[in-house]
A and B are shown apart, each in its own frame.
Chain A
Amino acid sequence: MDRLWWHFQQLLKIDAMNLVILVVVVLIGWTIISETIPNPARYLPSPLAVSLSSVDMLVKGLLPSYYSDTLVRLIIGSSIGLAAGIPFGLLLGLNKTVADMFHPMMNFFQSVSGIAIFPIVVIWWGNSDTTVLAVILYTSFFPIAFNVLSGVREIPIRYVNAARTMGASKYQIMKDVLFPGAMPHIATGSRLSIGFAWRAVIAGEMLAGRQGLGWMIFTGQDADRTAEVILGMVMIGLTWIILDHYLLRPIEADTIERWGLVQR
């Protein structure tokens, strides 16, 4: 909690002015474009119009409901994906032969994007929550598992040998050497996984027609409510920035940066 507060203060100190300037510049530019084009309500509503639409949706309770639906999907999907992917990658990495065997297969799956598997999942489970969750799980599992496996393969053998000569069991080697040693890759993998999961949620809601931010964007386009479309986009971007800054960055700062495994 203290760390979180510290990061918040750092953000205020260093980035606050730059951020404010950047946001103001973007908003002014956006407003100018919106004011000069014909039919802005359809093509590019002004920031004010988007804000008004968000107030309207807030009052009606739609925005909180869509937002929480989307967030819950993301949290459940990517948590399961990470919780399964990290140990899976570590276990595969425990044995060099097994690791070498699985590496190309994992590489194959992590490169087939979530959108590409969507049709087959719809064939299996229809337009349901299960479908959306399955796609999120798929997209978040493989990047993390693949990255952990790569990370374990790159851990210098002398670390493992040092633990072995102290009588460490396979489990102790996994806990004390492989897991922390793969931390730089776990960080990269988590970022990729959660990022992909986030895209999969949005795309999944659009394609499977489940309520949420993605769905809001999709129906907004259908009904010519462009302000809602933009609002959804802004919410998606903001959520990612917050997630990155208050969850992923602090974890990295406390582990791989503290240990000197990466320089910043």
Chain B
Amino acid sequence: MNSMTPKLVVEGLTHYYPDEYTGESVHALEDINLELYEGELVSVVGPSGCGKSTLLNILAGLLPYKIGTASVDGNVIHGPGPDRGVVFQEHAILPWRTVAKNIGHGLEIRKVPQAEREKRVQEFIDLVGLTGFEEKFPHELSGGMKQRCQVARTLCADPVVMLMDEPFAAVDAQTRITLQEELNRIAMATHKTILFITHSVEEAAFLADRCLVFSARPGRLKEIVEIGIPREQRNWTAMNDNAIFIAARDRILASVREEVSIAVEE
């Protein structure tokens, strides 16, 4: 679909980790290969325990890996770095920083001068719709606003790839729908390369250009579903009777359910 060099490349990634309680080696990922091109939003779905969060932690540099390679812009991942930004599931913005200070944190860490920092921070506050909440502390925000703040914080640091780990799983259903549409708009506006981990098939189909379905543990790349709907057309009202969306969603759902039943039988 794209002739450019990919932004994120994973080749032959296999991962084992020791179980926290039993110490037994858990086979989390098996021979994962994937490429993310500029401006693409790729979602990863799979049954619980399929290693999708392990994959994200490895890409974030929070989890060391031994087998295979992962690289961003040609640089092999050895640890955390500002070329990758992570949006965590919940409660990852710092309670002791205001919204503005949280969003500017990445730039502050990189010692970007204050004037430039403030300008960029305001830009992203406006982008995610937190205008007027600059000086609020996280405990004064709703769950949805906290996640907007996290997305703004990640984008403001201008990473090459944004990694999102089930970012909307902990908010209520109404907010989730809004946030999904917002993310679609933000993806359009920023043209950011995004890897989006989720357990929600609907969400994956709604947001992704490509959806990667993982098998039950050990996680293997089971199927890739392309969802060729232009971003401008993506909103929940339109998707309800969009044939491409429905077909993609049903295909992903069938694929995931197969894996869930395997996981349950084990």
Interface bits B38-63 vs A (CB < 8 Å: 1, else 0): 00000000000000000000001110
Q: What's the Cα separation between A172 and B97 when bound, in Å? A: 14
- Is B91 within 8 A of A165, CB to CB? no
Q: Is the CB of A259 within 8 A of B96?
A: yes
Which 5 A-B residue pairings sit nearest by Cβ, starting from the closest?
A260-B139, A180-B96, A167-B82, A166-B106, A164-B80
Shortest beta-carbon distance, A96 to chain B, in Å? 14
Give the contact stretch, choosing among A10-18, A30-38, A154-162: A154-162
Residues of A within 8 A of B (CB): 156, 158-159, 161-169, 172, 176-177, 180-181, 183, 255, 258-261
B: number of interface residues (CB 8 Å): 27
**A166 and B95: CB pair below 8 A?**
no
B interface list, Cβ under 8 A from A: 60-62, 80-82, 84-86, 88, 91-97, 105-106, 109-110, 137-140, 153, 157
Residues of B within 8 A of A258 (CB): 137
Q: How far is the CA of A165 from the CA of B96 in the complex (A)?
A: 18
Contact, CB under 8 Å: B91 / A158? yes
Closest to A157 in B: B62
CA distance A159 to B94 in the complex (A): 7
Minimal beta-carbon separation of A100 from chain B (angstroms): 16
Q: In the assembled complex, how far is the CB of residue A164 from the closest CB belonging to chain B, in whole angstroms? A: 4
Provide the bound-state CA to CA distance between A162 and B88, in Å.
8
Compute how far the CA of A168 lies from the CA of B153 in the bound complex, rounded to whole angstroms: 14
Asked if A158 and B88 make an inter-chain contact with CB atoms under 8 angstroms apart, the answer reads yes
| Interchain CB contact under 8 A, A166 and B85 | yes
- CB pair A177 B94 closer than 8 Å: yes
A129 → chain B, closest Cβ, in Å? 39
By beta carbon, the residue of chain B nearest A258 is B137
Bound CA–CA A163/B86 (angstroms): 10
